[in-house]
Amino acid sequence: MGLPDDPAALMEAACDGNRRAVARLLSIVERGGPGAREVGAIAHQRARHAYTVGITGAPGAGKSTLTAALLEVARREVDHIGVLAIDPSSPYTGGAILGDRVRMQQHALDEGVFIRSMATRGHLGGLALATPQAVRVLDAAGFGWIILETVGVGQVEVEVAGTADTTVVVVNPGWGDAIQANKAGLMEIADVFVINKADRPGAGETRRDLETMLEMTELGDWRPPIIDTVGVEGRGVDDLWSAVGDHRRHLESSGALAERRRDRVRRELELVVSEQLFALARRGAGGDVLDRLTARITAGEIDPWSAADVVVDAVRRTP
């Protein structure tokens, strides 16, 4: 039997355990537009406040391998886990990308695990807007834990991973100057550090680098632990899962979890408002308004602030 086209009916099917319905809902969210808005509204009503874990780090750090190992450990305690592999650079989606499938193939037949790659398809807001809606879809479908794995440490990846309840930053021995990681924003978002491939030379120096950076960083009442892992062998992954659990208990007991989630919703609201206002501006001033204003700024005819006033005025004039 084919799947329904109606988002509400798809959500019912997803909540009944239909994985194809979950995938269809996520595709709608990725495309954006009115359909994504409808799916987001329905998912919001059904969401049960799943716990999210962000895993980020430089390409090649072994995040997918580590995630696969973490899934194996977590499934001993957790019934359903969703994984969203966030890839801002890829124009394609429609299921987990090949690399993710290869690394996580041992979970392919596990009904308690759902793995999906997500990439923006060019709609306004991109992944920053689509990711929280995708999380709610998985949450509504009964996945109580959701892992957000990013492909790198660019601005989009760090922002997405940093919106999780617990953010894990993965580095390797010989990761380079810790100051560069600080510039990338990793030090600010990390709740747990992982030195993956810790069997390689330089692991001790990397730990000392991180400890030094933590000493120089103003910390609250949580000091990010540093966990050594070898993802391909599963070594240290139990310790990582324990650290995530410790951080969750800390957030819940201190009230910081509710505060983080309020801040996250506030940022999402601001983004949605800005995207809607920008869409109004494009309609009011013409679709090529930014191109024309950019040309005028480049030619020195107008400054950026005055150009922005033109856009804002267009919003005010839009009925």
pLDDT tens for residues 63-96? 989 999 999 999 999 999 999 988 765 544 434 3
CB 282 within 8 A of CB 317: no
Q: How confident is the model at residue 276 (pLDDT cuts 50, 70, 90)?
A: confident
CB 54 within 8 A of CB 168: yes
pLDDT for 124 beyond 50: no
pLDDT for 247 beyond 90: yes
CA distance 275 to 209: 40
Q: 208 CB contacts (<8 Å, ≥6 apart)?
A: none
CA distance 309 to 158: 31
6: number of CA atoms within 13 Å, CB side? 4
Q: What is the pLDDT of residue 253?
A: 97
CA distance 285 to 312: 9
Ordered structural domains, the chain, with CATH: 49-254 (3.40.50.300), 267-317 (no CATH)
Residue 182: which of 215, 204, 149 has the closest Cα? 215
- Region 24-30 average pLDDT: 92
In Å, how far are 61, 71, 99, 231 from 105, measured between CA atoms? 19, 11, 10, 15
CB 131 within 8 A of CB 84: yes
